[in-house]
Amino acid sequence: MKNWEKNIRRVIPYTPGEQPNCPDMIKLNTNENPYPPAPGVEKAWGELDVPSLRLYPDPACSLLVNALAKRCGVGEDQVFVGVGSDDVLAMCFQTFFNSKKPVLFPDISYSFYPVWAELFGIPYETTALDEEFRIVKEEFYRENGGIIFPNPNAPTSLLLEQRDVEEIIAHNPDSIVIVDEAYIDFAGAPSAMKLLEKYDNLLVVQTFSKSRSLCGMRVGFAVGSPRLIRYLNDVKYSFNSYTMSLPALTLGAAAVADEAYFQETTRKICATRERSKEALRKLGFVFPEPAANFIFASHPKCDAKALFEALKERRIFVRYFDKPRINQYLRITIGTDAQMEALFGALEELVSKPVFENGY
């Protein structure tokens, strides 16, 4: 080891899902939306004022903040926006989790949480899901320096009922509770934003990546009490004043403006999910009840990793996590009906092959 290497911060990074680039692939591995962004987004893209890119963008991100405040029915001082919800969440870890007590999040959950905790030197403990992968609210009734969980959870796709979310918040008046609602628009359930009037220690984080088809533009946001948003902005301005580019602000606002398109594509994905549940069950798969735009499925007779590899050979990409307890599951993003049909065709062939019947 070189001497200078001793002074380098070394971390084990988060591994994002593969972004392969084959022309005829079926990509169901990173929970992207199979439909394009709203027509108004494409129009706004065409009308972007390129010469004005010589100027810095608005550091307060007012165009997007105002659009979101209106959509969510909250004040403009209650909204914070960032470069995807990953950026917002990383900023939240830095801002709100500044205690010697451990931050709590579920043991099977978004695998970026422990990475941020390690990066920022935040102590953390995980809370155990039950045998059916459900979040156990009582696990959060202990001393902590903050709480975060996704709802619906990832990669399980399971929804925690609003009353249980509320109980976790109510039990923790001395901590900031962050509900990561990346997938809430597919859940047919209310957002925890409804609880903001009652709890000033609650922060709700959402993204434009999934239900608004804007993964590539990187837009995420948080909604909370004006005090929490002020603290977040203080950290943001201590780090990078210009997190959001002019295109991201403009296209994000255009996406919010088209409520009808958002409702329609979200409804289509949920309908495909319901059909996919039936098709997967017929093939012998089992899964927790999905509330997001993905299904976390396991086959009692087929090794998940072998299925994952065999699908990949057919240029069908799903997500596989080689981790304890979930290494016999595939996380399958809901695509178009045609993409799902192709997946089920391939799976039908694969699950009937004895090579996969290794009865783990």
Q: How far is CA 76 from CA 87, 156, 223, in A?
A: 20, 33, 10
Q: Shortest gap between Cβ of 154 and ligand PMP (angstroms)? A: 4
Gap between the Cα atoms of 297 and 280, Å rounded: 8
Do 219 and 246 form a contact (C-beta atoms < 8 A)?
A: no
The full length of the chain comes to 360
Q: Shortest gap between Cβ of 360 and ligand PMP (angstroms)? A: 26
Q: Shortest gap between Cβ of 209 and ligand PMP (angstroms)? A: 3
Q: Could you write out the DSSP letters of every residue in 325-337?
A: TTTT-EEEE---H
Q: Shortest gap between Cβ of 90 and ligand PMP (angstroms)? A: 9
Q: Shortest gap between Cβ of 263 and ligand PMP (angstroms)? A: 20
Cβ-based nearer residue to ligand PMP, 75 or 216: 216
Q: Shortest gap between Cβ of 205 and ligand PMP (angstroms)? A: 7
Cβ-based nearer residue to ligand PMP, 164 or 341: 164
Q: Shortest gap between Cβ of 85 and ligand PMP (angstroms)? A: 3
Report which DSSP code applies to 76: G
Report which DSSP code applies to 57: P
Q: Shortest gap between Cβ of 98 and ligand PMP (angstroms)? A: 21
What type of residue sits at position 137? K
Cβ-based nearer residue to ligand PMP, 86 or 258: 86
Q: Could you write out the DSSP letters of every residue in 158-220?
A: PPPPHHHHHHHHHT-TTS-EEEE-TTGGGTTS--GGGGTTT-TTEEEEEESSSTTS-GGG--E
Cβ-based nearer residue to ligand PMP, 139 or 181: 181
Do 69 and 78 form a contact (C-beta atoms < 8 A)?
A: yes
Q: Which residues pair with 44 in a beta bridge?
A: none
Cβ-based nearer residue to ligand PMP, 44 or 179: 179
Widest pairwise Cα distance in the chain? 62
Give buried/exposed letters for 71-88 (b at 16+ CB in 10 A, else e): ebebeeebbbbbbbbbbb
Two tokens, residue 205: 């984080």
Gap between the Cα atoms of 236 and 253, Å rounded: 21
Helices 259-282, 246-257: crossing angle, 10 deg rounding: 80
What is the binding site for ligand PMP (CB under 6 A)? Answer: 84-86, 110, 150, 154, 180, 182, 207, 209, 215, 220
Q: Shortest gap between Cβ of 82 and ligand PMP (angstroms)? A: 9
